[in-house]
Structure 1
């Protein structure tokens, strides 16, 4: 009995620590910090003793569900603050949701470390965007019309849902390339992130586990863990924002981008070795 309670306490501590780290990064960067949640969960759950063939799936599933909650909270906060043009989300949000569900459905079929290898490829690209994404020319003065807008929404959803990265990693730089101010870009990224992560979380929750999973897990989504992640992230985001005011933004972005790039390459290399 004592051993079971210790295991549950270790599980809770892992989710709290992962959420705290992701919240700190999100607060410091403004957008894109949720990118760190899936690998943090993978390492912390493994350290807590829940290592196994479905560890990557549990990390990805919990990350998708927690990011759905956190992105929705961020989008609502931006909506209350005002100043964001939500037209791109109205035009392409449904396509982002479709992409999120399809991306997660594909990732859920992979075995072993392969789901986190998908994260690794996406995260390495996101690290490049984070480090150099604002150095290029603008692609337009507003969100594109025609089929390009829905296609971009679908692409953001596929990446955010398939790799459990959240919307900020790709949507925010994309919005800035199309002329959005940083605050408006962060608002739209949160909206696209919520649209993509919600169906992705549902797919992971409906996934039939092919092996042992942590207690209180639905499919690949640990429900109490998601709640703990979201609470810890909400608690530490203000500290991250305070750090952003005290440290150069470019230094924080480059340090985080370097950490993500190294982690991404390690997952890709691990999956390649089998």
Structure 2
């Protein structure tokens, strides 16, 4: 509670407003891009925790854990919205799900031993690579038609699950461009990414909650590395706006959707690299 006592009521009101605004934007992005909102939530929480004076050793862990927890209801609503519009490919999900879960477990264990700076570097680096790929990818470019064999699919799924867990994102950030490069239609890739977000966020959030139990210097109102105050303010906003994003996704052509995706990733990456400087 000492962190909050250092600031005025007006400052705390501004914090609450910022968290609500984060939830609104994250909800729209969850439906629009299938990213679960984590690509927005993680850096915003990181900077808010910085303003609050949360120790650097736990700052990024708390941002990632809280983000994964908020993604759970958002990804459920986003998946339902995309399924109604026929943009969920259950066959793809069934092939990817086992290895994605294995990747989440690997990422959860690794997060226990990585420093906050290491988590930040992972987030910024992967986000920038994906953004560049999406921005400069040539129309019609593809690695192959459909997922590879069992070994290749396991490698892709575990990579999506593990890296997404370390970044605190729902999986769409990686699964959307990967699936699109395998000639999966963009809208189907976005819908499938939303469903994978649910597969990643549930075990990922539980792992960060358990990893952070009894760890000192966490933000107030935290259960493990999950900040309950952030969840209470972000989740309702994301749940209210996810449907807007899903509806908007079906009114934008694939090229424009890819450009929007790339811009958000690039801006997020640059912000996180700036924090490491």
Q: Same fold (TM over 0.5)?
A: yes
Distance (Å, rounded) in 2 between the aligned partners of 1:175 and 1:89: 11
**Secondary structure of the equivalent of 1:135?**
coil
Q: What is the TM-score when the length of structure 2 is the normalising length?
A: 0.81
- Residue 238 (structure 2) aligns with: 233
The CA RMSD over aligned residues, in Å, is 3.2
Q: What is the TM-score when the length of structure 1 is the normalising length?
A: 0.82
- Residue 76 (structure 1) aligns with: 80
Deviation at 1:220, TM superposition (A): 0.5
- Residue 167 (structure 2) aligns with: 163
Distance (Å, rounded) in 2 between the aligned partners of 1:5 and 1:215: 16
Gaps of 5+ in 1: none
TM alignment of 1:144-163, pairs within 5 A: 144-163=148-167
Gaps of 5+ in 2: none
Are 1:46 and 2:50 counterparts?
A: yes
- Residue 33 (structure 2) aligns with: 30
Structure 1 residues 79 and 261, CA gap change in structure 2 (3 angstroms): closer
Which stretch shifts more, 202-211 or 252-261? 252-261
Distance (Å, rounded) in 2 between the aligned partners of 1:265 and 1:88: 32
- Residue 100 (structure 1) aligns with: 104
Deviation string, structure 1 residues 246-268 (Cα, Å, up to 9, x no partner):
88875675466345324424534
Which stretch shifts more, 169-178 or 224-233? 224-233
- Residue 223 (structure 1) aligns with: 228
Deviation at 1:79, TM superposition (A): 3.1
Deviation at 1:58, TM superposition (A): 1.1
Deviation string, structure 1 residues 63-97 (Cα, Å, up to 9, x no partner):
11112332232223333444533112112202112
Distance (Å, rounded) in 1 between the aligned partners of 2:48 and 2:66: 13
Distance (Å, rounded) in 2 between the aligned partners of 1:171 and 1:37: 18
Structure 1 residues 261 and 85, CA gap change in structure 2 (3 angstroms): closer
TM alignment of 1:7-22, pairs within 5 A: 12-22=16-26
- Residue 67 (structure 2) aligns with: 63
Q: Choose which of 144, 165, 176 in structure 1 pairs with 2:180.
A: 176
Deviation string, structure 1 residues 50-73 (Cα, Å, up to 9, x no partner):
532222211111111112332232
Deviation at 1:100, TM superposition (A): 1.7
- Matched-pair contact (CA < 8 Å) for 2:67–2:168: yes
Structure 1 residues 190 and 134, CA gap change in structure 2 (3 angstroms): farther
